[in-house]
Chain A
């Protein structure tokens, strides 16, 4: 089969190596500097970024390739988190890595149950169904007190350990999470470049023609949705073992919207763009928190990010849909290209004057 050699493939794998190298050296370079105005803990934030990236990579496939939107991915994230948290706190002997796998699997199973009937219908019924699922999951997380600890949540979740290796510091967890993210990226790149990926792109481009060519569009949509649910569940399970406590507030509608915003800001259907979106929006609250040190007299309510997170995400969604529908990374590429062009023009002019 003629795999598209050249542009996409080599470009993707080269980018992959650059990103991987960058991730490897980042913690060495990004030690927290005491007394610096921008006192972010970059490694800690990057762990969170990696955890969100798991969920967003799957959602990016769903939005960008299957053309479907999920407004309830926080539910899968939460299912992954609660599954492993419950198993590992109830049974102290329970292997944490198995909890993570079971969490991701359960999220996938529930995704299948929801997606199977809904995705046979054309149109955006998935958005409605997942919106409902997100609310139901949130209510269950807060009300099943015996199982989930209610609104207080679950404490004392053991740190993740794989074959005796304990991931109990930020830096260890950083390398673990990003190793997982890079594996998912590789799988996703391969998927996009494979026969299935071509089918998905065709589906996105013209569903009628994809159907007519014999691409089984209904079953593809279900598969992509289930895969995205598994990845969100995986992210959630890692989240539980990283934070070591969880409560329902971590899995609200705002998180679902955050995921969608990350995809849109990064660029739908653009795997690397998705990653850019996750980084940008995970760091955004910390950057905003720093503002008051620069601007005197800014009201307190504006520094507390969660107060207006949803408003900001909504605004970002609107702005990107109108002005940058292909996302931030594409916009940056265009910006760089335009900058180069005008620089060259300027140089030419200067030379002409000489």
Chain B
């Protein structure tokens, strides 16, 4: 469904991605693990058009989407829940969700209701909090909102950047359970995560990134067993 070929991205003169090649199969959860500054977030940002690629190709459903502006990428079916949740703090939960479908300009009210019902079904707590300002939610609830907001554009592929960041283990568990359920319903997910254990346990495939390069890749189960991964990332 998504192919990234020899992708290189720069911040000024600093190279953040070096010839990164990954695949995301339809209906899979694919995870990218690695230390801080390995280029995981940059990879997601380049796929969703927030950063420009200097070399390489991004192919989504047989279309070249390299350096397409983000608003078009969302329309094509890739939705990005950025790092640090980034909910719109001074808007209500419902307004945040509404912004999630910003790209689908002419979608009608019935569809909107359907979408928001779907999100409320996935995260019932958001329905309870719908009139509350997003900035007043707990960290876990904000993460749910960020994921829910990304679901509102009816994505085929969901890009998730560190959903576990700053959350209690119990909350992380519950969010990953939800992700797995979404995956069972047919959603493809590309998951960037620092918490290698839970990421590899949830995912089908995994890549390990180090200093802007893909160091390892394969079945998530195999990576969990890999000696090097065990030593460095699983402790």
Contacts and interface: CB of A to CB of B under 8 A. Distances in A.
B231 interface: no
Interface string A1-36: 110100000000000000000000000000000000
B102 A215 contact: yes
A212 B94 contact: no
Interface in A187-202: 195, 198-199, 201-202
B109 A214 contact: no
A143 interface: no
A202 B98 CA distance: 11
B70 A212 contact: yes
Nearest to A206: B86
Interface residues of A, number: 19
B177 to A, nearest CB: 24
Contacts of A211: 50, 70
Interface string A160-203: 00000000000000000000000000000000000100110110
A213 B100 contact: yes
Given A199-B102, A202-B88, A209-B86, A214 B74 contact: yes
Interface of B: 48, 50, 69-75, 79-82, 86-91, 94-95, 98-100, 102-103, 105, 109, 112, 146, 149-150, 153
25 contacts: A1-B98, A1-B109, A1-B112, A195-B105, A198-B98, A198-B99, A201-B88, A201-B90, A202-B99, A205-B88, A205-B89, A206-B87, A206-B88, A210-B88, A210-B99, A211-B50, A212-B48, A212-B70, A212-B74, A213-B100, A214-B71, A214-B75, A214-B102, A215-B71, A216-B71
Interface of A: 1-2, 4, 195, 198-199, 201-202, 205-206, 208-216
Given A2-B109, A195-B102, A209-B149, 18 more contacts: A2-B94, A2-B112, A4-B95, A198-B95, A201-B91, A202-B88, A202-B102, A205-B89, A205-B91, A206-B87, A208-B50, A209-B88, A209-B146, A212-B48, A212-B79, A212-B86, A213-B74, A213-B100
